[in-house]
Every structure is written in C-alpha cells, then in structure tokens.
Amino acid sequence: ETAEIPASSGSWFSWPRSLLNGTETAKAKMPIAVQMALVFSDFCLKSSIKGVSLQLFNIDFAFRFGELSMSAKARKEKSVTLEALLKTMIKRGATDLHLVPGSPPRLRKDGKIVPVSKTHLTAAETEMYSLGLLNEDQKKRFATNKSINISFGISGLARFRASLYYQKGSICGAFKEIIKDIMPAQQLELPSTFFELLDKRLGLMLITGPAGSGKSTVWASAIDFLNERKSLHIRTIEDPISFLFQHKKSMVTQVEIASDVPSLRQALAAAQEHNADVVGISDLDSLDAFTGALELAESGVLVIGCAQASSCQSCVNNLLDLVPDSHTSSIRNSLARNLVGITCQYLLPKKDGQGRVLAMELLVATPDVQQMIRNDTQMLYSLMDSGTAGMQTKDQALLELYKKDRIDFGTAFDMMDDPAELIRAG
C-alpha cells in the first residue's frame, strides 16, 4: 500500500521539507496488518492518511509537525461548531467563551475559567471560527490592527460580541452574549447614591472597575433605568454593540464604531448634532473619548462613560495621565466643572457559594472633590472615607457586605486595602 503525505500545510499535516529534500510528497510503504510506529523528535500522533483509517490496518502511525492530524475518532470529537460552543456558554450560564489554540474551549462562570471539554483546539480551528465571522473590510482591518471587536447574530439563538486577537502568531477569540434582557438596576443592589448621580441633568458620570467586574452590566442597567423613567433621546456609542436596548419612555439610538460611524470622535460630534440628552460611551479609555465626553458634558448632555480602573482615585489619575502636559490645567478645570461622580465596583463570591455580589466604591463631585481635581488628587480617598454626600470607599463597602453575611471574612480581608476595621468587627 502507498500513501501520499503533503509537504506543505494541507488536508492533514506538514511533513518537514528537510526530510524530503525539497520534494513535495513522500511515498511510505505501509504493509497491511503490520503494526507500525514512527517516533520522531519525542512526538507521537495517531493519524489517518488520505481519509483511510489506519486502525483498519492495525497501524499506529505517529507524527506531530505543523498542523495536527487526527484519527477518525478524534476528528469526530473535534467537529464541534462555534454555534454549539456558544449554545453551551448560554446553557451553563457563563459570561464568556475563550478560544485559544492548544487549549480546550473555556468558559468563564462566576469569575472562574473552566474547560468545556478535554479536546484541545488547533490554530486552524480558531482561525476558521474567527475569520468566518468577518466580512472583507473587517478582515482587512484585522490583518492591519491584529485585533478587532465585532458583533454578530446566530438565528434562533442570540447576538454575540467577539473580540479577536493574535497570540503567538495564532488567532484567538473571546465571545460574550449581547444581552437583550437588561438586568434592572434595582436588582443589582446598588447604593442609593448611584441613583442620585443618575438623576443629574448634565455632566459626566463614570462607571469603572477592574476587568471582569461587571461594569458593562451596570452601565447598561443605568442607561435602561433612565430609558424606563424619563422622556429623553439616549444615544449609546459602542465598539461593538453589546446590549440591545428597547425604546421605552425614552428613544434609544445605538451607534457602533466602524459599522455606523467611522470613528469615535465623529460619533461624539454626531451625538450633539442629533440632539441627544444622554450619551452612553461603552469604552472611555482614550484621549479622544475622554476629551469628547467632557465637551459633550460642557454642552449640557449627561454622559455616562464606562472605563477600566482599580479605584475611583485611580480613574481620575488615569484619565489625567492621557492628557498632554500643555493641556493638563484646562482639562483638570473641565473635569472638575463637569464631573458628577465616579463609581468603582468589584465582584466577589457570595458566602453561600451561589454566584457573586457587587461591592461599589463611590466618589461624588462635591466642591471639595472639585478643588482636589483641579490641584491634587492625593487626598480623594480621605474625602470618600468621610462618607460625605453618600461617598464610600471600597473597604467600607466590603465591611458592609461582611456585616450583612453576604461575603466571608477571607474574601473581605483579601480585598481590603486596610483590614483593621474588619478585624475589629470580626
């Protein structure tokens, strides 16, 4: 019997060209009913060639070089579709699906990354899953930028957000469901001060937190809270659209960067031209986004921005660090004038092990806070610690959750900056 093995990446695997002396294929004599093992460079791989099952001939043909070649059984196990993986994510109540070559598909549930199966993904599979979602323009942008955020829908299932990127030369993907039924803000157990900030007619409100802290969920709930209660034109600017808002008492228009408008800067300018009362910005993490948000707030719009930060004080410092030295003074003054307040949130495992609970730090733009933003932000934490105007620090929020028996002592202790009061209470 004779079998051809492609030398370059083909249907099964790549044979090292150096072994073939430049030829494109190699002929291998494989006697039937003879067990055969090929060991090369400490790698071993069960395989089939040209669709012929080697198990039929009692042959164990082993090789791993370039693309992975699998037995018929292994190929069947790996024939899972992206749709099936996304269905699994929804069924298990996970928030994220991660696809990385060399790893099983993994879900994030209750803050933990867990494998879906024991079967590892190949680079070819993650590329197939990812590139199959992109149109030609998106493929060009992905090739240039090496990362892209998109949204897409699967009929009869849901809409999803995909963040595609490269890692060690291979394409990876992180997927989230675009939530249609937005969680009511009242169900999130948010402090009353949060709703007082939302009641402002104009200014800049910032919803922040570390990665994976649920800040996008709170941001969407804040938008929908206003949508249900006030007669406004609410404009969201997203990259990509991650929540689907229904028109309720307000009218909500959603703009996606690249799909609906070429750039964030143009989207911000258009919001004012289109007579928006409230503008929600899903990612306020660039100089353009920050200065554009301040300009909108100056014009009489309530801007609700979402940003990544580890605390309210670090959020202020992070934003000011974006600004060139020549403009620092004017931007400090603008932020002091227009800031409504900042929240910073943290998701913690509940004491009973059933899900997670939110702790929220709050900074309210009182005259003292405004003065510190203009001059020196080092004492902002002390002002929050005073509890003035409903402000609270992370430690105070954690202590309150511990006293209510929502989190255990170890969780609170690990998260606190200064656990002295917790120790006294415990």
pLDDT tens figures, 70-108: 334 443 444 589 999 999 999 999 999 999 999 999 999
How large is the average pLDDT for residues 393-409? 97
- What does the pLDDT look like over 33-79, one tens digit per residue? 333 333 333 333 333 333 333 333 332 333 333 333 333 444 344 45
Residue 381 above 90 pLDDT? yes
Output the CA–CA distances (angstroms, integers) from residue 350 to 201, 358, 407, in the order listed: 35, 9, 5
Residue 26 has pLDDT above 50, yes or no: no
Average pLDDT, whole number, for the chain? 84
Q: Of 45 and 261, which is predicted with more confidence?
A: 261
Flag whether pLDDT at 32 surpasses 80: no
Residue in 344, 374, 345 with CA at minimum distance from that of residue 358: 345
pLDDT of the residue at 178: 86
Q: Are 75 and 40 in contact (CB under 8 A)?
A: no
Q: Please give the pLDDT value at position 63.
A: 32
203: left (phi over 0), alpha (psi -120 to 50) or beta: left
* Residues of the chain by 3-state class (helix, strand, coil), percent to 5: 35, 25, 40
CB-based contact 128:97 (threshold 8 Å): no
323-327, Cβ contacts within 8 angstroms, sequence gap of 24 or more: 323/287, 323/290, 323/291
Return the percentage of the chain with pLDDT > 90, whole number: 74
Q: Looking at residue 193, what is its pLDDT?
A: 97
CB-based burial of residue 253 (10 Å sphere; 0-12 exposed, 13-18 middle, 19+ buried)? Answer: middle
Question: Model pTM greater than 0.85?
Answer: no
DSSP string, 309-324: -SSHHHHHHHHHHTS-
Amino acid at 93: G
Residue type, 143: A
Report all structural domains of the chain as residue ranges with CATH numbers, in order of start.
Answer: 82-178 (3.30.450.90), 185-392 (3.40.50.300)
Lowest mean pLDDT among 224-238, 258-272, 303-317: 258-272
Mean pLDDT of 304-312: 97
The model's confidence at residue 110, banded by pLDDT at 50, 70 and 90, is confident
The four Cα atoms 376, 378, 381, 383 give a dihedral, to 10 degrees, of -40
The model's confidence at residue 16, banded by pLDDT at 50, 70 and 90, is very low
- Tokens standing for residue 408: 């255990």
Least confident of 55-64, 141-150, 206-215, 377-386: 55-64
- Cis bond leading into 419, ω under 30°? no
Helix (H, G, I), strand (E, B) or coil at 168: coil
CB atoms within 10 A of CB 322: 14
Pairing of strands 278-281, 302-308: parallel
Statement: residue 1 has pLDDT above 60: no
Structural contact between residues 343 and 218, judged by C-beta atoms closer than 8 angstroms: yes
